[in-house]
Structure 1
Amino acid sequence: MKLQLKEGAGFPNSLLYMLAVIAGVSVANLYYNQPLLDMIRQELGVSTLAANHIALFAQCGYALGLLFLIPLADLYSRRSILLIDFSLLILALLLTAAASQIRTIHLCSFVIGVCSVVPQFFIPLAAQYSRPERKNRNVGIVLSGLLTGILASRVVSGAVGEWLGWREMYLIASGLMLLSGVAVFRILPDAKPNFTGSYGALMRSLFTLLGEYPLLRVHSVRAALAFGSFMCFWASLAFKMAQPPFHAGSDVVGLLGLCGVAGALTATFSGKYIERVGIFRFNCLGALLQLAAWTLFFTGADRYLPIILGILLIDIGMQCIQLSNQATLFGLCPSASNRINTIFMCCYFIGGSFGTLLSGTAWTLWGWTGVVGAGVLLTSASLAVTLCVRR
C-alpha cells in the first residue's frame, strides 16, 4: 500500500532518507566516468579531447533529460516514468561496459545522462509535500544524498577502475540501478499529476513560467555559471593528475573526490540558514570560495595539499550557490514545482556542459593554466550576475 501525500501536510522522514539514498546512487552514473577518462583514453587509443567528450555527452544528456522528462511528472505517474527510465539506464550502462568504440561510449553516455535525472523527480516532491517550515531542510537532505552520491561515485569508480577495470565499473553500476529501480517501484508514494493539458501545452508552460518569474531566470543563470566552473575543474583533473609530478591513477583521482564531502555536509545543515543569512550573501560567499579554490589550484598546481584544500572550498562554494538558488524557487508556484525545477536544473547542467567543453578545449590548447583561467572566468560571471541584480 503506497503512501498518499497531501500538499504541505508533511513528508515522512523514513521516505525522505530513502529517496536521498536512491538519489545519490542514481546520480552517481553521471560521474563514474571522471576518474576513468584517462584509463579509457589509453585503452581505446583516443585523444584527451575525445575522452573528455564522454563527460560532455553525459552532461548534455542530463540537461535534455531535465528539459523533456522532469515536466512529465506534472502530467503522468512518477512511478511509471521511472520504471521506463531505469530500464533504459540499465541498458545503456551494459552497452558502455561492452563498447569497443569511443563513439559507442559517447552515445551511451548521452543516454546515461538523459536517464540519470532520477533525483530531480524527488526534490520537487520533497518541496511540495513538506510542511512550509521544513521545506528547505527537506530539500537540503535530498540534495545532500545527491551530493554524497557524486562524491562516492568518484571514489568508487576510481578504486574499481584501478583494481578491476573501467568496464567492470559500468557492470556494477547496472546492478545498482536494478536494485534502485525495484526499490523506487515499491516505496515511491502515489502523487496526483497537477497538469491537465497536453504534453505540448506542458512544455509551452515552461516558457510562460520563465517569462513570468524574473527570479527564476536570475537564480538559474548564476547557478549555471558557478556549476560550469565546478565542472571545469573535475573534467580535467584526471589528465592533470596523470602527469608529473603526480603520475596518479584513477584511484587517487577518486579519493580526491572524498574531499568534497564538505559540500555534502554543507547542504545538509545550511538550508535552514538561507532565510536568516540571505540569498545575496550566500551567493557572494559561494563565488568567493570558488575563486579562492581556483587560486589554490593555480598556485599549488604541483602539490597535493593546495589541491585538496581547493576541492574543499570549491565544493562548499558550489553548494552554497545551488541550495540558496534552488530551494527558494519552489515557493514561486508550488503547483508547478516540477517545471520550475526543470527550468533551473536544465540551465544548471547546460552550464555544466559548457564548463566541461571549455575545460577540455582549454586543456588541449593551454594545459592546466587554461583550465584555471576558464574556471575563474565562469565564477566571476556568476558573481557579476549576483552583484548586478543586487544593484
Structure 2
Amino acid sequence: MNSEKELSGKTVLLMAIAAGVIVANLNYIQPIEGLIAASFQVSKATVGVVAMLTQLGYAFGLLLIVPLGDIFNRYQLIQVMLVLSIIALLVAFWAPTVTIFGLASLLVGITSVAPQIIIPYAASLAPALHQGKVLGNVLSGLLTGILLSRSVSGLLGSVMRWQYVYLIAALAGVILLVILHQYLPRDQRAQPNLHYRHVLGSLPQLLRQQKHLQGAAINGFCLFGVSNVLWSTLAFYLAAQYHMGSNVAGLLGLLGITGVLFASIIGRLVDRYSPRLTIGLGIVFSALAFLIFASLGHFFIGLMVGIILLDLGTQFGQVSNQAIVQSLNREASSRNNSIFMFSYFLGGALGTFFSTFAWSHFGWAGVCGVAAIFLVIAVLGHFILREPKQLRPVQ
C-alpha cells in the first residue's frame, strides 16, 4: 500500500474529525454531573461513580476490542464500533433510572474505542519520517472533540434537558458513519492468521518486552489521571466557589484550544528533538497547573491560566507517548496502542473516582492533593523508565 497516496491531507482531516466526534462521547457527562444528580435525586459522589464507569468501560474496551485491529479489517471494524456506540448513546438518552444510565455510560465507554483503532491505522499509512506530524494532526482532532464535548454539553445542559446531549451525540454518530463508509481508506492489512485468544494472550508479553511501552503506559496513566482530576470536579468547584452553572464549566473547556493549536507543533518537536524532552515538558506544565489551582484557584483568572497549562501538559504527554508507542512495532501497533490506552484511561477513571471522593470529603484542597500523587508517580516513572531520546523507524 502506498502510504503517501493513501494518507492525503483530506484523509488525515477525516480521521481527525472522526476521532474527535467519537471520543467526545466520553466527556459529555463532566459539565452536567450536577444536573444528572439533581435529575435522578442522587448524590454527586454517585454521579462521580457513573462518570468513572464511562472511563473504566473505555479502558476495558481498549484492552478487549482495540487489539482486533491487528486481526480484522480496520475499515470495517471502525464502522461496527461506531454503530454500537450510537446504540449505547440512545440507551443513555432513554435511561429512566440512574442504574440504567450507569449501565449505558459503561457501554458508551466500551463502544467508543474507534479513535484508538484510527490512530494506529493513521500511523501505519503515514510515511515514517512524518509519523509524529500525522499523529499530532489526528490527536488535534481528538483533543478538539474533548474540548467541544465539554462546551456543547455544558451549554446544552443549561438550555434543555441534559438527556438531549446524548440524543444529539447519537445523531452526530449517524452522520459520521455515512461519511466514513464513503471516504475512509479501505484496509488491506488484516491478519486472519492471528486468533483473538492469541492476540489477548500476547499483551502481557508485549508490555514485558518493551521498556518504552512501560514508560508510556505509566506516563499516560498519570497525566490523563491528573487531567480528569480537574474536569471531574470543576463543575462542583464552580458552583461552590463562584455559584456558576454547567454552561460556564463547558465554556472553560474551550481554553484547552491551546493544546489543539500546539498538537501538530508538538508532533514536529517529537520528530525533530526528543520525546523524553516533550514528556518532561508535559509533566512540568501539568504540575504548574495544579500549583496555580491550589494557590490561586479562588481567583477566576488563576483558574483560567491553570486550565490552559493543564491541557497543554496533557497534549504534550499524549502526542509524545503515542509517537513512542507507534514507533515500536508496526505488526503489533493496535495491541501496543491497546496497552497504552488501557493504562491511559484506567488513570482517567481513577482520577475521576478519587477526585470526586476527595471533593466530597476534603474539598478543593483534597482534589489538588490527589493530583499531586499522580504527578509524583509521573516524575518517578520519567526518571526510572526513561523515554527514548529519539524515535526509531517502525519495525
Instruction: Look up the equivalent residue of 2:273 and give its one-letter code.
Output: V
Q: Say if 2:246 is the partner of 1:254.
A: no
Residue in 2 aligned with 1:101?
A: 97
Q: Say if 2:200 is the partner of 1:203.
A: yes
Residues of 2 paired with 1:227 and 1:308: CA distance? 19
Residue 6 of structure 1 deviates from its aligned partner by 3.7
Residues of 1 paired with 2:193 and 2:102: CA distance? 37
Residues of 1 paired with 2:80 and 2:176: CA distance? 13
Residue in 1 aligned with 2:325?
A: 329
Q: How many residues align?
A: 386
Residue 282 of structure 1 deviates from its aligned partner by 1.5
Residue 280 of structure 1 deviates from its aligned partner by 2.1
Is contact 2:40-2:98 (8 Å) kept? yes
Q: Say if 2:212 is the partner of 1:218.
A: no
Structure 2, unmatched stretches of 5+, are 388-395
Pairing partner for 2:148 from 149, 152, 169:
152
Residue in 1 aligned with 2:14?
A: 18
Residue in 2 aligned with 1:120?
A: 116
Q: Say if 2:75 is the partner of 1:87.
A: no
Residue in 1 aligned with 2:297?
A: 301
Residue in 2 aligned with 1:285?
A: 281
CA RMSD, Structure 1 to Structure 2 (Å): 1.5
Residue 274 of structure 1 deviates from its aligned partner by 1.2
Residue correspondence of structure 1 range 1-391 to structure 2 within 5 A? 5-6=1-2, 11-191=7-187, 192-194=189-191, 196-244=193-241, 246-390=242-386
Residues of 2 paired with 1:195 and 1:55: CA distance? 36
List per-residue Cα deviations over 1:37-69 (Å, max 9, x = no partner). 001111111011101122101000110111111
Residue 194 of structure 1 deviates from its aligned partner by 3.3
Residues of 1 paired with 2:36 and 2:114: CA distance? 26
Is contact 1:232-1:374 (8 Å) kept? yes
Greater Cα shift, 348-357 or 184-193: 184-193
Residue 84 of structure 1 deviates from its aligned partner by 2.8
Residue 104 of structure 1 deviates from its aligned partner by 0.9
Structure 1, unmatched stretches of 5+, are none
Greater Cα shift, 93-102 or 6-15: 6-15
Give me the TM-score of the superposition, normalised by structure 1.
Answer: 0.95
Give me the TM-score of the superposition, normalised by structure 2.
Answer: 0.94
Q: Report runs of 4+ in structure 1 exceeding 3 Å deviation.
A: 5-10
Identity over aligned pairs, percent: 35
Instruction: Look up the equivalent residue of 1:73 and give its one-letter code.
Output: G
Residues of 2 paired with 1:150 and 1:288: CA distance? 22
Is contact 1:8-1:128 (8 Å) kept? no
Instruction: Look up the equivalent residue of 2:190 and give its one-letter code.
Output: P
Is contact 2:6-2:185 (8 Å) kept? no
List per-residue Cα deviations over 1:141-189 (Å, max 9, x = no partner). 1000000000000111111110112111111111001111111222222
Instruction: Look up the equivalent residue of 1:213 and give its one-letter code.
Output: Q
Residue 9 of structure 1 deviates from its aligned partner by 6.6
Greater Cα shift, 165-174 or 147-156: 165-174
Is contact 1:82-1:181 (8 Å) kept? no
